[in-house]
A and B are shown apart, each in its own frame.
Chain A
Amino acid sequence: MKDVETRPRRYSRVIILTILLASLPLIVGFSLLVISSFSTEMVTNLNPSSFHLTLENWISVFHGKLATTGGIRAPILRITLNTLIVALGVAGVVTAVSALAGYSLSRVNFRGRKHMMILLLVLHAFPGVALIVGVYLLYRLTFPQSMDIVRLYSFMYVIFARAALEIPMSVWLMKGFFDTIPWEFEWSGIIDGASRITVWRKIMLPLIKPGILAVALFAFLAGWQDIIYVRTFLIDQTLATFIEANIEAEFSHMPMIAAAGTLYLLPTIIFFITAQQLLLQGYSGGIKG
């Protein structure tokens, strides 16, 4: 039982109404964006007559023929692909690194363990903007001479640099997940003669699948969302830099930008619908119980 069943219904209704009211700007703002993508004119002025239903914007988007300022064709699908590459890259790197580090912090007693954990917390709190200047300098100093690998390099750099920002929190999260596994699983593996590495690979990782999924999910979203790092390091465009660059377009093309924005929002919405529990849990996962 969570609360008494004899409470008058209306108390709950009042609360729900209040939250709804407070959520109104949020709901209105996002809805108008999505709706505008299906209209020839932006409907953000709440004028019903501005709404002319059309699929033009979306068709253009999917044909990769977005007519932006100056009539330049922008390859939306390519841009979306770039965003995907960055997101997947970040997810992969973060998951791998934190699965490794999180395990040892949870299970191996070594000197400096505590200090390392404190360090991670401090890093997590560290101003990202202070680092980016140095990160960029490193980028410039290590920039390849050969033009062939320049684009590849920028992709790799963006992925690793962005992933690095997520590492402290993810290692904490992973450590938390490892902490929940009973010690018996590990001890039986060690008694059977497995090395720590084998225990990690064959016993712990499979047991931790939901944790890995959660960390990968959040890392993916971080990479997908990012604008600062991609605009600073990536030579190609992602959806973020595309939207940034095209905000000055004439009003007639704004619905197409809205469509691009809605497209950009899609994975977020998908995760909302399919991974609700995971999201709500994951966000509270790293917090002291």
Chain B
Amino acid sequence: MVRIILDSITKKFDDFIALRNISLKIEDKEFMALLGPSGSGKSTLLYTIAGIYKPTGGRIYFGDRDITDIPPKDRNVGLVFQNWALYPHMKVFDNIAFPLELRKVPRQEITVKVREVARMLHIEDLLDRYPWQLSGGQQQRVAIARALVKEPDVLLLDEPLSNLDALLRIEVRAELKRLQKELGITAIYVTHDQAEALAMADRIAVIREGKILQVGTPDDVYYRPKYRFVGGFLGNPPMNFVDAEVDAENGYLNVYGSRIPVPAQYRELVEKLGIKEVLLGFRPHDAEVLREKREGLAGEVYSFEPLGREQIVTVSVDGAFVKVFAPEGEHFSFGEKVTVELREDRIVLFDKKTEKALEFLV
């Protein structure tokens, strides 16, 4: 059980810079998600923490120990690969027992520990089988068991759920989270699925092109994104973005011909920064589609997608498309004139040039 400190980690592969100056602190027993699109460097970062890659620059600490040059076997980490990497010629029992055998743990102790961890993951009945005889979900549990059996200080997972079908994924998600809390292991979880990260993590580090854009609780990154990219990456359907002009004296924002007041949380900032053009972000469920004329974005219904207990309405606001959730009962027609009323406290304003949220510019 350990806290992990990454200090200015850089990783280069020949000319390609995969990680740029990454500094991150992960607390003991914390479940940290590394979230980012493909190629962002999240797996590279994970493997560097595991000791598979050696950083080109920077240091890594487990607690007080500088482990930057230490090989994986001396770091006491458990690693779960995306495609599980189970040894095909060994039975499940032997796969799980392997790390303990390498440490010359006595045979009896091995049997006890393997059975224990197998029970924890509900695979006690599969111990006598070979990996190719198991389903994807079962193989994955074996991989997790193998990682946990040596009681590692840190559990590293590289997109472990991506090879499972959708329903199984949701099931296993909850289990994994519970397991981590029960065992109290510091865990780092790489994923490109924002829903997964939001559901499981204590904190999320959003990574893009080798840089960490924001670290925060799911709440933080979801409602208070630091960058436009973070706002757009989290949430499904993603955050809506529209251009807005600031009319600072009168305290209004002009959005494609509609006028809405500058949100309370931004009034001071807008004056102080004196910015004229901003990007306005709001989430589909932080707005309402109204037929009456109210303060909001005026537009016409472009399309609607029923989803069961709710529907997504796409509204064209002077050519810019925004998506808003609406209750299932309401019936819209194409081209109908509507107003999108925004929930004021959930609006986020971004500087157009740096794409940073205004509150982070100071």
Contact = CB atoms under 8 A, between A and B. Distances in A.
Same complex: yes
Nearest to A8: B71
Contacts of B72: 4, 6
A158 to B, nearest CB: 49
Contacts of B71: 4, 6-8
Interface in A1-34: 1, 4-8
B69 A6 contact: yes
Contacts of A7: 71
A4 B74 CA distance: 13
A4 B72 CA distance: 8
B54 interface: yes
A8 B51 CA distance: 12
Nearest to B73: A4
Nearest to B44: A1
A6 B72 CA distance: 8
Interface in B1-50: 47
Contacts of A5: 52-54
Looking at chain A, what size class is its interface with the partner chain? under 10
A33 B252 CA distance: 92
A8 B70 CA distance: 9
Which has the most chain B C-beta neighbours within 10 Å: A1, A4, A6, A7?
A6
Which has the most chain B C-beta neighbours within 10 Å: A4, A7, A8?
A4
A210 B194 CA distance: 47
A181 to B, nearest CB: 29
Contacts of B52: 1, 4-6
Nearest to B53: A5
Nearest to B54: A5
A95 B321 CA distance: 65
A1 B50 CA distance: 13
Nearest to B75: A6
Contacts of B54: 5-6
Contacts of A8: 71
A47 to B, nearest CB: 48
A231 B319 CA distance: 89
Contacts of A6: 51-54, 69-72
B318 to A, nearest CB: 50
A13 to B, nearest CB: 16
B74 to A, nearest CB: 9
Contacts of B69: 6
Nearest to B13: A1
Interface string A188-228: 00000000000000000000000000000000000000000
A8 B69 CA distance: 9
Contacts of B70: 6
A5 to B, nearest CB: 4
A8 B54 CA distance: 11
Nearest to B67: A6
A4 B73 CA distance: 10
Interface string B54-73: 10000000000000011110
A1 B13 CA distance: 11
Interface string B91-124: 0000000000000000000000000000000000
B5 to A, nearest CB: 18
A274 to B, nearest CB: 26
A6 B49 CA distance: 11
Contacts of B51: 4, 6
A2 to B, nearest CB: 10
A276 B340 CA distance: 68
A7 B47 CA distance: 14
A5 B51 CA distance: 7
Nearest to A3: B52
Interface of A: 1, 4-8
Nearest 10 pairs of A and B residues by beta carbon: A5-B54, A6-B71, A4-B52, A6-B51, A6-B54, A5-B53, A7-B71, A4-B72, A4-B71, A1-B52
20 contacts: A1-B47, A1-B52, A1-B53, A4-B51, A4-B52, A4-B71, A4-B72, A5-B52, A5-B53, A5-B54, A6-B51, A6-B52, A6-B53, A6-B54, A6-B69, A6-B70, A6-B71, A6-B72, A7-B71, A8-B71
Given A5-B52, A8-B71, 8 more contacts: A1-B53, A4-B71, A5-B53, A5-B54, A6-B51, A6-B69, A6-B70, A6-B72
